[in-house]
A and B are shown apart, each in its own frame.
Chain A
Amino acid sequence: MFVIKCPHCFEAREEEEFSYGGEAFVARPESPETESEENWGDYLFMKRNPKGWHWEMWGHSTGCRKFFVLKRNTANHTIVGAWTLAEARKIYDAEEAIA
Chain B
Amino acid sequence: MLNSTTNNTSEFKPVMQSPLHPFGLAAKQEKINDSKGAWANEIPLLGYISLRGNSQNAAFVSAVNSALNITLPTQACSMINAAWGSILWLSPDEWLITCKRDQRASFQQSLEAALAGIHSQVVDNSGGYTTVLLKGKNASDVLHHCTVYDLNMLQAGKVVGTTFGKLSLYVHQHENGYSLVFRRSFADYIWRYLERSALPYGFGIAQLNDGQ
A residues touching B (Cβ–Cβ < 8 Å)? 8-11, 13-14, 16-17, 60-66
Q: Is the CB of B92 within 8 A of A14?
A: no
B50 interface hit (Cβ, 8 Å): no
Shortest Cβ distance from B77 into A: residue: A9
A63 touches B161 (CB 8 A): yes
| CB neighbours of A16 from chain B (8 A) | 148, 163
Bound CA span A95–B77, Å: 32
Interface residues of A: mostly helix, strand, loop or mixed?
loop
Q: Does B125 contact A (CB under 8 A)?
A: no
Complex contacts, A10 vs chain B, CB 8 Å: 76-77
Specify the main secondary structure of chain B where it touches its partner: strand
A11–B148 CA distance with the chains assembled, in angstroms: 14
Minimum CB distance partner of A65 in chain B: B91
Return the chain B residue nearest A61 by Cβ.
B168
Determine the chain A residues whose CB is within 8 A of the CB of B94 once the complex forms. 64
B24 CB to nearest chain A CB (Å)? 30
**Given A8-B91, A62-B168, does the pair A14, B148 have CB atoms closer than 8 Å?**
yes
0/1 string, B146-184, CB within 8 A of A gives 1: 001100010000001111000010000000000000000
Give bound CA distance, A14 to B76, whole Å. 17
Is the pair A11, B168 in contact by a Cβ cutoff of 8 Å? no
**CB–CB A62/B153 < 8 A:** no
The answer to whether B72 has its CB under 8 Å from any CB of chain A is no
Give the residues in chain A near B77, CB-CB below 8 Å. Answer: 9-11
A13-B91 contact given A8-B76, A63-B160, CB 8 Å threshold: no
- Minimum CB–CB distance from B104 to chain A (whole Å) comes to 23
Known: A61-B168, A62-B161, A64-B161. A13 touches B92 (CB 8 A): no
A60 and chain B: residue at smallest CB distance: B161
Could you tell me the distance in whole angstroms from the C-beta of B78 to the nearest C-beta in chain A?
A: 11
B79 interface contact, C-beta 8 A: no
Which 8 residue pairs of A and B lie closest in terms of their CB atoms, listed nearest first? A62-B168, A64-B91, A14-B148, A63-B161, A16-B148, A10-B76, A9-B76, A62-B163
How far apart are the CA atoms of A14 and B147 in the complex, in Å? 10
**Are B91's CB and A66's CB within 8 A?**
yes
A60 vs B149: C-alpha distance when bound (angstroms): 13
